[in-house]
Chain A
Amino acid sequence: MADKKVLGLSKDSWIYTFLGLGFVLTTLDFLMAFLVSPLVLGAKVSGVRVIGGAIVQNQLLFSQKIFYFHVPVALGSFLVFFFTAFYGVRFLMTKDKIYDTKAKIATEVTLLFVVLTLITGDLWTRFEWGQWWVWEPRLTTYFIMTLLVIAYFVLRNSIEDEERRATYASVFGIVAFLDAPISFAITRMIPSSVHPVVLRSGGGLLPTQLIPFLLGLFGMLMIAWVIYQVRLKEEMLRERVEAVKAALEDDSPTDAPTFTSFAKPETPGQS
Chain B
Amino acid sequence: MRQFKAILRKDIVMELRTKEMVTSMGIYAMLTLVIYQVALSQSGAAFDPRRIAAGLLWLAFVFTSMLGLNRSFVHEKDQGCLEALLLSPVDRPVIFLAKAIGNLLFLVIVEIIMIPFFSFLFLQQGSYQGEFWMIPLSLLGGSIGIAGVGTMLATMSVNTKGKDFVLAVLFIPLMYPLLLACVSATTAGVLGGDGHIQQFWTGMAAIGAYDAIMIAAAWALYEFILGA
Contacts and interface: CB of A to CB of B under 8 A. Distances in A.
Given A144-B173, A175-B218, A155 B160 contact: yes
A57 interface: no
Contacts of A170: 224
A191 B217 contact: no
Interface in A148-180: 148, 150-151, 154-155, 158-161, 163-164, 166-168, 170-172, 174-176, 178-179
A196 to B, nearest CB: 18
Contacts of B227: 167
Nearest to B172: A147
Given A151-B170, A160-B161, A178-B213, A190 B156 contact: no
B26 interface: no
Indicate the size class of the contact surface on chain B: 35 or more
B177 A155 contact: no
Contact of A155 (B166, B221, B224): B166
Interface stretch (A32-40, A104-112, A181-189, A263-271): A181-189
Contacts of A236: none
B206 A158 contact: no
Contacts of A171: 152, 156, 221, 224-225
Q: Is the interface of B mostly helix, strand, loop or mixed?
A: helix
Interface residues of A, number: 33
B170 A186 contact: no
A175 B214 contact: yes
B38 interface: no
B224 A182 contact: no
A148 B170 CA distance: 7
A172 B119 CA distance: 37
A158 B180 contact: no
Given A159-B160, A171-B224, A175-B218, A186 B177 contact: yes
B52 interface: no
A168 B176 contact: no
B161 A174 contact: no
Given A151-B170, A183-B177, A190 B162 contact: no
Given A155-B156, A182-B177, A183-B176, 8 more contacts: A158-B166, A163-B228, A167-B225, A172-B156, A175-B149, A178-B213, A190-B184, A190-B202
Interface of A: 92, 141, 144, 147-148, 150-151, 154-155, 158-161, 163-164, 166-168, 170-172, 174-176, 178-179, 182-183, 186-187, 189-191
28 contacts: A144-B177, A151-B169, A151-B170, A154-B169, A158-B160, A158-B161, A158-B162, A158-B165, A159-B161, A160-B161, A168-B159, A168-B225, A168-B228, A171-B152, A171-B224, A174-B221, A176-B174, A179-B173, A179-B174, A182-B214, A186-B181, A186-B210, A189-B181, A189-B203, A189-B206, A190-B180, A190-B184, A191-B184
